[in-house]
Amino acid sequence: MNSIAYPIQMDLTPIFGIACLVLLAGIGIVFYFFIGKSEELRDLKSAYEKIMRSFHELDEQAKLIVKTDLELNKAQEELDRRLKGLGTLQKLARNMRTSLDENEAFQRISPELMTELGFSRTLAAISTEHGILLSKTVISFNQKQAEDALRELEKKPDILNVLKKGQIFSSLSSPHQIRTTITNLFETEHFILAPLLTQKGLIGFILTGNRYNAPAVTEGDEELIGILASQLAQTIENAQLFEQVYRSTQMLETKVNERTKELSLALKEVETISQKKSEFISAVSHELRTPLTSIKGYASILMTGKIGDIPEAVKERLGKINLHSDNLVKLINDLLDIARIESGRVEMKTALHSIKPMLNNIADLLTPQLSTKDLILRIQVQADAPDIEFDTSQVERVFINLISNAIKFTLPGGIITLNAIPQWDKNILLCEVADTGIGIKKEDVARVFDEFYRVDNQINMTVKGTGLGLALAKNIVEAHDGRIWVSSELGVGTTFHFTLPFKHINKELPNPS
């Protein structure tokens, strides 16, 4: 049987359409999701980029922080170095300041302290008057190397002239050529060369630094070494001044000693002469007094007429011999007293006395003379005047001498006043003999106490005197540790003042020296 196969005829179009629709929907959905995701991705990418940007910005800020921090660290390090340097410099300065010796000042720059400042090599030198440089501090240089460098430097006026102006050279700031010259001279790569300047000018220099492979010097180092150099120069100047002052003092002392020696010798000579003079006067006076006594004795005998009558004219002459003999005896006695007091042979016999009774006695004694000239004598002893220690006979002589002078130079009707005033603050009794006499010329005031000095006036021309009374009074007052002086006004009057100490009176007479 033949079979006929009939293909099944199906219409696939709708299925295809549906499939296409599904596919399109799928694509649409995928496309929708894809668009959505890609937006998300875009957002994510943008966020990532933003984060990365921030990250980089933060890193850039970190770089800035690091840069600042590094600078801060460097600043701190420099500050630390400077502080340490200043501390060391202070130690160095203190060490140097305590020295008044130039060499010692240089020795105080020790290797330890220079190492603390950061320098292993130091050479300090001082210049002589002839411009030769002498090494004084040598650290890490051998002596020959130092001397060679100094000799070479002496031949470098360009460097020395700049140093004279106070300029510092350093491996940090000096021009290349100079830097190389100094480096080669001192075999020191990192260096500071500072002048030692005083008021005299350049007196030397200090070079310090490190050889090679060492940290470079800084501005701070320059400043520190500059200060050190000026401190050192100051110390040297002080040491030199001290040396000068010391030498001057020594010279002065030597001169003073020499002069003192000369003066002592001269004084000794004067003393010897004075002693001889006193001895001479004493001897001559003694020798004169004996024959005078005989002359006076014989004249007296003749005048009595026991040997025979003598004519009136002879008697008159004999009277004159007697009078002149008395004057001569008084002169000789005064001379003898002065000589004795000066030579220390008279001892003041001091005892406690009241001044007033003594003055009254003197007044009684001198009443005839006062009456003759119609003079008034006033005694004014202050009520609280104490008893004081003095040699009554000697002080009496002082008063008699002074009052006699007052009588002599006061015109009739005048007043003579004796004052005794205690001065408790000075522990003295001030005695005064004041007159209303003719007064003394200014030029004579200073000399009235000189031996044999007689003021040139009308009265002295007519009235004879020895010129020894005031000299004797002065000697006696001074033997009592007192002082005598005069004040006078011509035509108004004269006052003699002298003092007697209350308590202490030298029993022994002072040595004239």
Partner 1 sequence: MVKSQTNLTHHDLILVTATPAYTAPANPHTISGLDQLHKILNPERLIGMTTPVIILKDEIHLKGVAVLAISSDEIGIGIAAQQTISLLPLQETGIRFARDLASRMSASERHGAIIFCNNIGINHSLLIRGLQEGLGRAFNIAGAINPDGMFCQNQLFTDSLGGIIFGGQTSFFSSIRHGWQPLGKPRIIDDCDSNLIRSIDGKPAVSIYQDYFPDSFVGAKSVQLTGNLGDIGLLYPLGLNTSRPKDYIIKNPTAVLPDGSLVCQGEIARGTEVHLMIGDKDACRRSAHDAAVDIRDKLHGKHPRLVFIFISIARKKLFGRSFWQEIAQIKDILGIACPIFGMYTYGEIGATAASDLQIHNASILVIAIG
Residues that bind partner 1 (CB under 8 A): 55-56, 58-59, 62-63, 65-67, 69-70, 73, 76-77, 79-80, 83-84
Could you give the CA distance from residue 359 to residue 142 in angstroms, rounded to a whole number?
A: 94
68 vs 294 by CB, closer to partner 1: 68
77 vs 287 by CB, closer to partner 1: 77
C-alpha dihedral, 222 to 228 to 234 to 237, nearest 10°: -100
**Least distance (Å) between residue 62 CB and partner 1:** 3
116 vs 154 by CB, closer to partner 1: 116
Asked if residues 191 and 118 have their Cβ atoms less than 8 Å apart, the reply is no
68 vs 361 by CB, closer to partner 1: 68
**Least distance (Å) between residue 219 CB and partner 1:** 19
Phi (first) and psi of residue 172, to 5 degrees = -85, -45
Could you give the CA distance from residue 140 to residue 211 in angstroms, rounded to a whole number?
A: 10
For tokens 């990192």, the residue is 190
84 vs 454 by CB, closer to partner 1: 84
Asked if residues 202 and 127 have their Cβ atoms less than 8 Å apart, the reply is yes
114 vs 470 by CB, closer to partner 1: 114
Asked if residues 506 and 347 have their Cβ atoms less than 8 Å apart, the reply is no
Could you give the CA distance from residue 167 to residue 158 in angstroms, rounded to a whole number?
A: 12
Tokens representing 145 are 């190397």
- Within the chain, what is the greatest distance between any pair of CA atoms? 251
**Least distance (Å) between residue 59 CB and partner 1:** 5
Could you give the CA distance from residue 160 to residue 180 in angstroms, rounded to a whole number?
A: 16
**Least distance (Å) between residue 66 CB and partner 1:** 5
62 vs 273 by CB, closer to partner 1: 62
**Least distance (Å) between residue 98 CB and partner 1:** 25
**Least distance (Å) between residue 215 CB and partner 1:** 11
Tokens representing 351 are 């005892």
> How many other C-beta atoms lie within 10 A of the C-beta of residue 208?
30
**Least distance (Å) between residue 68 CB and partner 1:** 10
